[in-house]
Amino acid sequence: MSFASPLFLWFFLPVVLAVLLIVRPSWRNGVVAVASLFFYATGAGGTTFLLIACMVANYLAGARLEPGGTRTDHERRNLLVAVIVFDLAVLVVWKYLGFATEQLHAIASVIGADLPVVHLALPIGISFYTFHHISYVVDVYRGERTALKDPVSFVAYIAMFPQLIAGPIVRFREISDQLPQERTHRLDDIAAGFPRFALGLCKKVIVADSIAPLVDACFATPADRMTFAVAWLGAIGYTLQLYFDFSGYSDMAIGLGRMLGFRLPENFARPYSAVTITEFWRRWHMSLSRWFRDYVYIPLGGNRGGTALTYRNLAIVFVLTGFWHGANWTFLAWGLFHGALLVLERRFGWHSAPDSRSRAIVRRIATVVLVAFGWVFFRSADLGTAWTIIGTMLVPDFAGLPEAVASAATNQRIALLLIAAIVLFLPDHPVTGPFIESSRGRIATTARVSLMTVGVVYSAILIASGTFSPFLYYQF
Q: Which residue among 185, 325, 351, 429 is the active-site one?
A: 325
Contact indicator for 377, 202 with CB cutoff of 8 Å: no
Contact indicator for 432, 255 with CB cutoff of 8 Å: no
For the four alpha carbons of 433, 245, 273 and 476, in that order, the dihedral sign comes to: positive
With 0-12 / 13-18 / 19 or more C-beta atoms within 10 angstroms meaning exposed / middle / buried, residue 43 is: middle
Angle of CA points 94, 96, 100, to nearest 5°: 130
DSSP 455: I
Contact indicator for 295, 138 with CB cutoff of 8 Å: yes
Nearest residue to 271 (alpha-carbon basis) of 426, 164, 399: 426
What is the rounded CA–CA span in Å between residue 446 and residue 234?
34
Q: At residue 436, what are phi and psi to the nearest 5 degrees?
A: -70, -35
For the four alpha carbons of 207, 212, 213 and 214, in that order, the dihedral sign comes to: positive
The type of residue at 200 is: G
133 is catalytic: no
Q: Specify the 3-state DSSP secondary structure of 263.
A: coil
Contact indicator for 90, 126 with CB cutoff of 8 Å: yes
Instruction: Tell me the CB-side half-sphere exposure of residue 272, using CA atoms within 13 A.
Output: 19
Catalytic residues, by residue number, are: 325
